[in-house]
Each structure stands twice: as C-alpha cells, then as structure tokens.
Amino acid sequence: MRFPPAFLDEIRDRVPISTVIGQRVAWDRKKTNAPRGDFWACCPFHGEKSPSFHCEDKKGRYHCFGCSVSGDHFKFLTELDGMSFPEAVEKIADMAGVPMPVRDAEEERREKERASLTEVMEMATAFFQERLQGPEGAKARAYLRDRGLTPATQQSFRLGYAPDSRNALKEHLAAKGVPKADIEACGLVRHGDDVPVSYDWFRDRIMFPIPDSRGKIIAFGGRALAADALAKYMNSPDTELFHKGNVLYNFARARQALGKGALAKGALAKGGTVIAVEGYMDVIALAQAGFENAVAPLGTALTENQLELLWRMAGEPVLCFDGDQAGLKAAWRAADMALPAVQAGRSVRFALLPEGKDPDDLVKAEGPDAFRAVLSEARPLADLLWVRETAGGIFDTPERRAELEKTLRELTSRIRDESLRYHYQQEMRERVLSFFGTQRGARQGYPGGRQDGRPGGRFQGKGSAPGGQFARGGNAGGRTAITESLGRSALVKRGSEGMSVREATIIAALVNHPALIDENFAHVEFLDLANTDLKRLHAAILDAMAHDMANDRNAVIATIERAGCGEIWARVVALIKRARQWPALETAGLDDARDAFSQALHLQRSARTLHKELKQAEAALASDPTDENYRHLVEIQAQFRDVQATEALIEGFGVSSGRAGRV
C-alpha cells in the first residue's frame, strides 16, 4: 500500500522519535537533555559501553557516531525490529492515535494528480524567475533592489515576476504540453462559466513561490507593482494543492534552520524558536539579516491549523506583530485563539514592534540587534491577557474589581488542559490580589499604588500585596503569631537581607561550569531570584548567552566585569567558600557541579513558589479570616518547614537558619 506523504508527515510529527526509540534503549542521564528533545544512549545496533547513539525530536532523526546508522521512526522499526514498512507505519499511527488510511483508488488517483500538479507549479516558478531576470523584469528588479534584497536572497527564495500580460504564463505552459485542465487546477488562470477565455491569474506582480512542508511549490503570492492595483498582495486561489489557512510561508526552511540550529546569534535563546511575522517581505528581510527561523501566515489572521504548525516546530513560538493598533488587535485575536489549546510545553509569547515599524523596516533601519532586542522582550500569554484586561481601566469600586475578576475567570476557563487551567487561575488570582492590595495601600497613604485605581505599569500586577496585616481589629484572633513567624522565615527574608547560599550556588555553578548554561538554558533564561545583586549577575549571564559567549568561563566572567559586577562576583565566591559549597567552585568536577546546581535550583523554585503562595494566603486571610483560610496558611507553613529542613541538610544548619553565610 502506498501511504500519502501528508499522512506519514502527520504521524511523524505527532510522535516524538525519542518515544519510539525510548522503548528499546535506556537514555544516558548525563548526556541527555530531555527538555530540548536531545537524547543519547548506547547504540542498539552495535555493542558499545559509552553512548554514541543520538536522536533529536526536532529533526525526527537518529544517528550513531559509532556505526553510522541513521534514519527516522520507520527505519528504526524496520531495521531493528525487522518490521515491514507498512507494519512500522501502523505502529507509529497507533502511537499517534491516528487511524490508518483505507486503500482508496480515488485517493490514489488524486495523489498522482497532485504530483502532476506540483510539476506544473515548478514550471510556473521557473517561468516567473526567468521573467524577473529578463527585460520585462527591470521594474521588478529595481523594486527589490530598493527594498534591500540582494540577488542571492532573491534566488534563495526563488522570487520572480509575472509579466503584464493576460496570456504569457498560459501560453508558455501550453507550449510545453501542459493540459488546459492542469493549468486551471493549479489556480494559475481565471476561468469559469462567466469567463469566455481564461487568462493569467497574476499580472505585473512580483511573485513569491509558496512551498509546502516538503519544499514543493504549491501556490504563489503576488505583490502588485502598479499603484492603482485593486489588491496590493494577492494569493493563489484554494486548489487541490493549496489551502491558505493550512500553510505557513517559509515553513520548510524555518523548520530546517531550527533543526540545524542555524539561527541568528542570540536570536531568542540558546536553541531558538520559531518567529511568526505578518508578511512575505518580513520573512525574507529577516532571513537576509540572519533570522532564518521566521514564518508568516498568508495575508490573513493566524489560524488554528497554522498555530499547530508552529507548535510542530517549537513549544513556545514567538508571535511578532507590527507596532500599531492593528498589530495589537491582531495579538489579542491570536491570544484568544491560542488560549484553549495551550498546555504544558505548548504556549506562545508575544513581541510587539516599535510604533509604525514592521520587521523589514526595523532590520533595514537599525540592524539585526534592534530586532533581537524586540524578541528579548517577548512576553508570555498570561502577561498579554492581563494587560488587555487592565490597561486603561479604573477599578476603584468593588463592582469594577468584581467585574475584572469575573472576566479573568471566564478567560482562564477556556483552557482545555485541566492542570494548566488550574495554574492560570492561580496566577490570575495572585495578580488580582497583588494589584488590588497595592491600590488599597495607595488609598491608605502607603507608597506603591495609584489614587485613580489604574494599573501602575505596562505589565503591572506581579508585585507583592502588603503582607502581615492579618488582624483587622482583632478579627483574626491568635492567628497573627503564625503569620509573623512565616514572615521571619529564612526563605522569605533572604531576598531582602542578603544573598542566600542557595541562590549564590546557582549563579556560581553556572559561571564556573558554563556547560550547565547550555544544558539548562530554559531554566537559566527564566531564573527567578530574590537578591538584587544576584539578579545583576543573572543579567550578565543572559548577555553572554545572547552573544554566544556563554560556553567559556573566562568569557562569562569578562561579561560580568564589563557589566560592573566584578565586586558582586567576588562576594559570591567568598560566600560559597565560607559555606563550603565546593561543588559550585571552578575546581569541582562537572558531575558534582551538576548535582549541586540541580539541588539548589529545585529548592529555589520551591521556595519562590511558596513565597508567592504565602502572599496569596496572607491576602486571603486578611480579607476573609475564615478557618479554611487559616488551615491553608498552616499548610504553607508546613511546606516551608519541609523545604527548610532539606536546605539545612545541604547547606549546614548555621547557614540555613540565617545565623551565618550572609554577605
């Protein structure tokens, strides 16, 4: 049975290759980086003691550096398990939860027809390319030159020119023996009962060939050169090959660039992600500037199917919108569309360009670093939703605050994934409590709030509500003592009183052993630190990452010194030595440093989460001193004790209790 290529692509994309291979091998714990989809094991095809067998989920491929075997999901099953190809396909389809296609003579006929049509589209592409380089294409070449596109870039994207003629392409294809029906089926001419004589669909336009996921040309986009053209940009009509809402421009090239890691230096983070922009020219200009991981929808708002394509390439694509009101509204529409489908490992971030700029304008006027800066400020989905619902709003009455809470509850209830929905609801509750707590403080004369009840900043809402105000006129009774003891907790006080050994260990291990930065790039990028000085060191590490200087200890330290943080780094080293956290020092082995870093990071994340939950519990008990809220506070206290006990074992009692180790 011949399987449609689209079916094979779908089941391959749905099942990570590590899931298939992981049933037959044990992944090496030290070399494997599962969050990045990078796996190592001893090769199942030949005997070996050290892991040289490598597979990457992004590429969907495996390769052994010992015996040179390589392949995809199907080849692994056919060569290792001796399955036939149809059996391997059936197994992967079962894992993907996709039914096997039924042998369909009509579908096979259509598949042959599609193959024939792609040949016609290839002929049309070559025709447009030739016309661009001929006398007719002088005006088009001048336009592309004015837009800053080099001849190499034009050739790379196979740009062309459709002559200002009703029949040029139709007659060219007919002369090569292409049937009239095939020309019409490709959407290259306008035809129908109301059109006596068919004529070319594209005329006097710069042509952008649109490839499918395998790089085959399936449609065209055309940019008008005439100022009075009815449509500035125009796409091919939907055909057997092309359905506009299911295709992303530059998908195949961007996926290949991500697979090879061929991204602009520091484009977003180590490992990169896919960037969705608004148009053809944006994609091409970014590629010329070194950002080969950009794609674009085809002249319409992003669709659900296009978002699924983005998630096939990266777990957290960046959606980049023009810096005007229309761009902001497009971002909001995309957020609403993505919200129901987000889940752990599948979300989006949003980057908004400066007012009046698109990516093409920005890289042309200010260079790649300007666009890189925009990407570095991309905000998560939760931030965009919060901003949309609070920006410009006045929440100075209980009714208005209740309305905001209701809106946020309705938004988060759209998330289909139960676990993520819970965390989003918790996040929004925390923001609301913090925001309204700050406003109450402002009205009572405390700093940090606004008298008019408006948000205090662009991404306002993540600050801490005033804590410790639990006994309102004695309503909370003897519960004040509990909150005061929590407030004195070492885990809570460390951020304000000085460096904690835990946070210093994290930073020192990263600087002294830069391999940990690459292994934990996602955690490093979003590291949540309490101490201000350590935040400065963290910013210096991110700067080194952005400039591909984070793979060498001396280069990282040089970046720290350039940032004016040399004295802070010296204090960190001194603290680590006094606390005898030798695994974080330069002289320690990488395995010991890795274990120390993992322990410290786990404790850090637990402590920061408990700190946030404490603030929420304080606010809840302050506003509603019930037994339920009291019990919740006691539970958090117990969790604090567990984390403190673990930290005491690692750091030593004197440091963890706050009696030593402060700098």
The continuous run of DSSP H or E covering 196 comes out as: strand 195-200
Q: Tell me how long the chain is.
A: 663
- Parse the chain into domains and list their residue ranges: 5-96, 105-242, 251-377, 387-466, 490-656
In sign, the C-alpha dihedral spanning 636, 638, 641, 646 is negative
Nearest in space to 240 (alpha carbons), one of 289, 313, 291, 181: 181
Q: What is the dihedral of CA 325, 328, 329, 335, to 10 degrees?
A: 180
Nearest in space to 551 (alpha carbons), one of 258, 289, 266, 260: 266
**Using one digit for the tens of pLDDT, what is the confidence trace for 53-97?**
999 998 899 998 888 888 999 999 988 877 888 889 999 999 999
Across the strands, what pairs with 424?
none
Q: What is the pTM of this model?
A: 0.56
**25 touches 17 (CB < 8 A):** no
Please give the class, per CATH, of domain 251-377.
alpha beta
Please give the class, per CATH, of domain 105-242.
alpha beta
Is residue 377 over pLDDT 70? Answer: yes
Highest mean pLDDT among 41-50, 421-430, 447-456, 626-635: 421-430
CA pair distance 424, 380, nearest whole angstrom: 12
CA pair distance 570, 568, nearest whole angstrom: 5
Tokens in use for 84? 């036939």
Query: What percent of the chain stands above pLDDT 90?
Result: 42
List Cβ neighbours of 235 (8 Å cut-off, separation of 6 or more): 210, 219, 220, 221, 222, 244, 298, 299
Q: Could you tell me the strand order of the sheet in which 53-56 lies?
A: 38-41, 53-56, 61-64, 70-71
Is residue 501 over pLDDT 60? Answer: yes
Please state which architecture CATH assigns to domain 5-96: Alpha-Beta Complex (3.90)
Beta strands in 362-448 (DSSP E): 379-380
More confident call, 150 vs 265: 150
More confident call, 614 vs 379: 379
Taking residues 132-142, report their average pLDDT.
95
